[in-house]
Chain A
Amino acid sequence: MTANGLEAVFLGNRDVLLRFLRARGGGDAAEDLLQELWLRASSADAGPIAEPLSYLYRIANNLMLDRHRSSVRAQRRDQDWSDSAGGTVPGVSDEPSAERALIARERLREAEAALAALGDRAATVFRRYRIEGVSQRDIAADLGISLSAVEKDLQKAYRAMIDLRRRDDAD
């Protein structure tokens, strides 16, 4: 897929991408987001692209996720600032780096424990799919289990990992 080919796909699918950005929470900013999407897509040196429309959707999705991430960070900064101004807990960003490393190790330990609690198979399935990027079909074949067993393990493990993160973030 050449840059011109990608552009043609982008222009030909402007409407569906715009609709996606709106549905994804872009609201009135969707038109601007569409421009940002094209900037990202055209500046990435991605090599041959097998599915250009899917590629554009994925960039759009990442764009919205990054926006959400920034707004969460901004909220936390505000929260931290008012907390320290109130003389209570110091803000996370002010912690010395040794302390941050300690927290990172603690989070890792928690995550490993939560995975281990799911059992060997579910933990293996999750690692291979989520971290190593092996396909569900290949995992099922390698472990000699059904695709639906892989799906169930993944749903269980994703749930556990996400819940753990949300608990940590709420602390």
Chain B
Amino acid sequence: MSRPHANIEEAAIGWIIRMRDPAFAGWDAFTLWLEEDPVHAAIYDELALADADAADVLAETEPVKPEPVAPPPPPRDPIPANDDKPERPRWATRRSMVGWAMAASLLGVASYTSLMPGSSPYAVETLAGQRQSVTLADGSRIDLNGATRLMLDRENPRFARLERGEALFSVVHDARRPFTVETGGATLVDAGTAFNVIRLDGMTEVSVSEGVVIYNPKVEKVTLAAGKVLRALDADGQIRVGNIDAGSVAAWKQGRLIYEGTPLSAVAADLSRNLGFGVTAGRDVAARPFSGVIQIEGDRERVRQRVSAVLGVPVDQAGGGWRLGADAAR
């Protein structure tokens, strides 16, 4: 088959793939690509429709877990799926359930049992450098740092699972219904509490600013009072408990950015947004991934040195802002 538009088709498939990710954020770039040539929109439409149809055909073959006696309402993702169409509600339902069953099975039995019966899970997700607060039905509040994904349950406001990133829990205490957080295969139970959890690169860190948190009540049963920090590494299974300034537990709310494998071009954009002046990434470093935490509070010159040290690239003054790396920005 001859392909007069082979390059355009390849680009269109690239967009279709990236947009399947609920965290897709490249809408400006997608708009620019469409504006280059009206043919782009036509080819994208044709291929996106073929993709939706192909997925419909295949989805019917996926194994579906037996439904609970009283089937819960289909879990809803806050972001509408690519092919979430009123004409085919059955497919949407099945797909969501399959997705959920899969996610649960990856996380092991503990997560599975706390969420499956009668649950109605949904995800709250932030992009790098962005933040989001969620207030639950019981008045508890969760602040999400950037690049964070949290699963909540509409049917159970006393439960959250931190899949990745960092979240600060300010929990309304209820002795009869303790608040439970799952992360990295561990369970945290509060006893009237504000605490911060980081889940990143096979490491879990829990720091407590108020009240008491119990780590894995059925296994290690480590009690953490305010001012304690616990670190657990997946690799060796060891748990270390240390001291922390209780007042600094939620420091990120005052200027910490957290990343996981984020290209420096995106980190530069976040810095720009948070610092309020232009930060660009040079061609030589734009695609380099960064994982870690950047503190952006303080005197501009000190922040510049800190950013340079953390990112491992030169950060120079350029125009009224900063440039990461040695080359000019694209």
Query: Contacts of A20 on B, CB cut-off 8 Å?
Result: 27, 30-31, 34
CB distance from B276 to the nearest CB of A (A): 19
Q: Which 6 A-B pairs have the closest CB atoms?
A: A165-B50, A23-B34, A161-B54, A68-B45, A25-B41, A133-B99
Chain A residue with Cβ nearest B15: A61
CB distance from B64 to the nearest CB of A (A): 11
Which of B72-80, B183-191, B215-223, B305-313 contacts its partner? B72-80
CB distance from B118 to the nearest CB of A (A): 17
- Residue ranges of B at the interface with A (Cβ–Cβ < 8 Å): 1, 10, 13-14, 16-17, 19-25, 27-28, 30-31, 34-35, 38, 41-42, 45-55, 57-62, 76, 78-80, 82-85, 95, 98-99, 102-103, 106, 122, 124-127, 130, 132, 134, 144, 154, 261
Query: Contacts of B144 on A, CB cut-off 8 Å?
Result: 50
Q: B-facing mask of A50-75, CB < 8 A → 1, else 0?
A: 11011101110110111011001000
Q: Determine if A112 is an interface residue (Cβ-Cβ < 8 Å).
A: yes
Q: Which residues, 96 to 147 on A, are CB-close (under 8 Å) to B?
A: 104, 107-108, 111-112, 115, 127-138, 142, 147
Tell me whether chain B's interface is mostly helix, strand or loop, or mixed.
Answer: helix
Asked if B95 and A131 sit within 8 Å, CB to CB, the answer is yes
CB distance from A139 to the nearest CB of B (A): 11
Query: Contacts of A66 on B, CB cut-off 8 Å?
Result: 85
Tell which of A46, A58, A112 has the most Cβ of chain B within 10 Å. A58
Query: Contacts of A138 on B, CB cut-off 8 Å?
Result: 106
Given A23-B34, A108-B58, A131-B59: A57 touches B102 (CB 8 Å cut-off): no
Of the A-B pairs whose beta carbons lie under 8 Å apart in the complex, a sample of 24, sorted by A's number, is A45-B76, A46-B78, A48-B122, A48-B124, A48-B132, A48-B134, A50-B78, A50-B124, A50-B126, A58-B80, A104-B57, A111-B57, A111-B58, A130-B20, A130-B51, A133-B95, A133-B99, A133-B102, A134-B102, A142-B106, A155-B10, A162-B13, A162-B51, A165-B50
CB distance from A34 to the nearest CB of B (A): 14
Q: Determine if A164 is an interface residue (Cβ-Cβ < 8 Å).
A: yes
Tell which of A69, A133, A136, A142 has the most Cβ of chain B within 10 Å. A133
Cβ contact of A132, chosen from B24, B50, B98, B130, cutoff 8 A: B98
Cβ contact of B122, chosen from A47, A112, A161, cutoff 8 A: A47
Cβ contact of B38, chosen from A25, A68, A129, cutoff 8 A: A25
Query: Contacts of B95 on A, CB cut-off 8 Å?
Result: 131, 133
Asked if A131 and B132 sit within 8 Å, CB to CB, the answer is no
Q: Determine if A33 is an interface residue (Cβ-Cβ < 8 Å).
A: no
Asked if A131 and B53 sit within 8 Å, CB to CB, the answer is no
Query: Contacts of B59 on A, CB cut-off 8 Å?
Result: 131
Asked if A166 and B45 sit within 8 Å, CB to CB, the answer is no
Given A50-B124, A131-B98, A155-B10: A23 touches B41 (CB 8 Å cut-off): yes
Cβ contact of A50, chosen from B27, B58, B132, cutoff 8 A: B132
In the complex the two chains form, what is the Cα distance from A168 to B16 in whole Å?
Answer: 20
Asked if A57 and B27 sit within 8 Å, CB to CB, the answer is yes
Query: Contacts of A19 on B, CB cut-off 8 Å?
Result: 31
Query: Contacts of B154 on A, CB cut-off 8 Å?
Result: 47
In the complex the two chains form, what is the Cα distance from A163 to B52 in whole Å?
Answer: 12
Asked if B78 and A131 sit within 8 Å, CB to CB, the answer is no
Cβ contact of B57, chosen from A49, A55, A108, A129, cutoff 8 A: A108
In the complex the two chains form, what is the Cα distance from A159 to B11 in whole Å?
Answer: 11
Query: Contacts of A45 on B, CB cut-off 8 Å?
Result: 76
Asked if B48 and A65 sit within 8 Å, CB to CB, the answer is yes
Query: Contacts of B35 on A, CB cut-off 8 Å?
Result: 23
Query: Contacts of B22 on A, CB cut-off 8 Å?
Result: 133
CB distance from B176 to the nearest CB of A (A): 26
Query: Contacts of A72 on B, CB cut-off 8 Å?
Result: 49
Asked if B31 and A23 sit within 8 Å, CB to CB, the answer is yes
CB distance from B216 to the nearest CB of A (A): 23
Given A111-B58, A132-B99: A55 touches B78 (CB 8 Å cut-off): yes
Given A68-B49, A155-B10, A169-B50: A47 touches B31 (CB 8 Å cut-off): no
Chain A residue with Cβ nearest B102: A132
Chain A residue with Cβ nearest B28: A16
Query: Contacts of B27 on A, CB cut-off 8 Å?
Result: 20, 53-54, 57
CB distance from A108 to the nearest CB of B (A): 5
Query: Contacts of A23 on B, CB cut-off 8 Å?
Result: 31, 34-35, 41
Query: Contacts of B10 on A, CB cut-off 8 Å?
Result: 155
If A62-B84, A131-B59 are given as contacts, then 11 extra A-B residue pairs at C-beta distance below 8 Å, sorted by A number, are: A25-B41, A46-B79, A62-B80, A65-B45, A111-B54, A127-B58, A133-B95, A133-B99, A134-B106, A135-B21, A164-B54
